[in-house]
Structure 1
Amino acid sequence: MKTRSLLMVAAAALLVSACATSTAYAPAGFNGQRGGYAEQRLESDRFRVSFAGNSVTSREQVEMGLLLRSAELTLENGFDWFSTVERATDRDVSYSAFRDPFYRPYSPFWGPSWRYYHRRGYWSRWNDPFWGRDDFDVRQIDRFEANAEIVLGRGPKPAGDANAFDAREVVANLSGRVTRPM
């Protein structure tokens, strides 16, 4: 019986971990995924770019996706470098409460109980009145979204501008670090 329970728990954990994957580097809504990149042309050399992740995508992955998409847009439009005019990463926090599937209230083997002497002259069992009211877990869910307005340029990257990036170098350095769709 105990071995069977352990196998069921292991199978459930494997199933859940297989489903929990970070947002793939793809357009927003690709294959029904939550998140991805999106862009909007503002002028011939200016774009607004965003990358949104799901609940298992880290802030670092979201910001890498934003920079990679900015670099790809730069090269696709015939430019050499881009500079971020405005850049922000937003964090959306929500909480999810769910019941513990292995909790058994009022089980003789689970939970605190005490005995006390009743006024009528016999011993009685007393259970904690709050036991069973907190039989759920709360999980914090973080989702990140990075946004930037970028300006594209030709020629060498401006020296001394900390917000300017060489598009070819960004693509070379970040392409292998993002998760592509299967």
Structure 2
Amino acid sequence: MKTPTKTLLLVAAAALTLGACATATPYAPAGANGQRGGYAEQRLETDRYRVSFAGNSVTSREQVEMSLLLRAAELTAESGFDWFSTANRATDRDTRYQTIGDPFFDRYRYWGPSWRYYGRRGWSPWGDPFWGRNDFDVRQVDRYEATAEIVMGRGAKPAGDANAFDAREVIANIGSRVTRPM
């Protein structure tokens, strides 16, 4: 194989490897395949559940909320019901800040400009007060988790209830829009 072709293949393989590291939380049970996040549910009564979906730092708020609704719809259909209504619904955002140092400064921090002055004890070093002061980036990292208590019912969904959803319609409309595990 020619050298440019090998180089291109190596670059493509590296890009695919790095891309796999930065993917949204797939729609799967929480903790499946060692992943952080996913969906979970807890049965409260025969027709009432608490459902949640937690995403990672790459999963958008919209993806988290769609995954929650999809899990609620699937759970409703699996339980033999036709519609569900959200009694309590909330999306929490966990924000943290990550600092990333400057690789040039981290490597060459001792090579910065410096001066010396003569004091009572002789010559003393004095570094540049501005060298390395702002040599880092701050990145905001958000993680979302959506939770809802759902009440399930049979027959036609209640008319005029904005929090009521037809389970099969939700599955048909957003089932293909969530990120599935590979």
Q: Same fold by TM (over 0.5)?
A: yes
TM-score interval (norm. to shorter)? 0.7 to 0.9
CA–CA distance in 2 between the matches of 1:20 and 1:72? 27
Which residue type is aligned with residue 151 of structure 2? V
Separation in 2 of the partners of 1:68 and 1:36? 12
Partner residue, 2:179: 179
| Equivalent of residue 19 in structure 1, options 18, 21, 26 | 21
The 1-side partners of 2:18 and 2:155 are apart by: 49
> TM-score, length-normalised on structure 1?
0.79
Answering whether residue 86 of structure 2 is matched by residue 96 of structure 1, we say: no
Matched residue SS, 1:27 = coil
The equivalent residue for 2:38 is 36
| Partner SS, residue 68 of structure 2 | helix
Mapped to 2, the partners of 1:63 and 1:137 lie a distance apart of 30
Match of 1:166 in 2: 166
How far, CA to CA, are the matches of 2:150 and 2:47 in structure 1? 8
Higher alpha-carbon deviation: 79-88 or 128-137: 128-137
Q: Measure the CA separation in 1 of the matches of 2:67 and 2:104.
A: 39
Confirm or deny that 1:59 pairs with 2:82: no
Indicate the percent of aligned positions where both proteins have the same amino acid.
Answer: 75
* Residue identity opposite 2:24 in structure 1: S
Partner residue, 1:3: none
Question: What letter is aligned with 2:48?
Answer: R
Contact 1:93/1:142 (<8 A) preserved:
yes
Equivalent position of 1:156 in the other structure = 156
> In 2, are the aligned partners of 1:105 and 1:132 still within 8 Å (CA)?
no
Task: Tell me if the contact between 1:28 and 1:36 (Cα under 8 Å) persists in the aligned partners.
Answer: yes
Structure-1 separation of matches of 2:18 and 2:162:
41
SS in structure 1 opposite 2:74? helix
Matches of 1:66 and 1:106, distance apart in 2: 48
What is the TM-score when the length of structure 2 is the normalising length? Answer: 0.79
1:139 counterpart residue number: 139
Match of 1:88, SS? strand
Q: Which runs of 5+ in 1 are unaligned?
A: 1-6, 119-125
* Compared CA separation, residues 132 and 162, structure 1 to 2 (3 A): same
Task: State which drifts further: 47-56 or 99-108.
Answer: 99-108
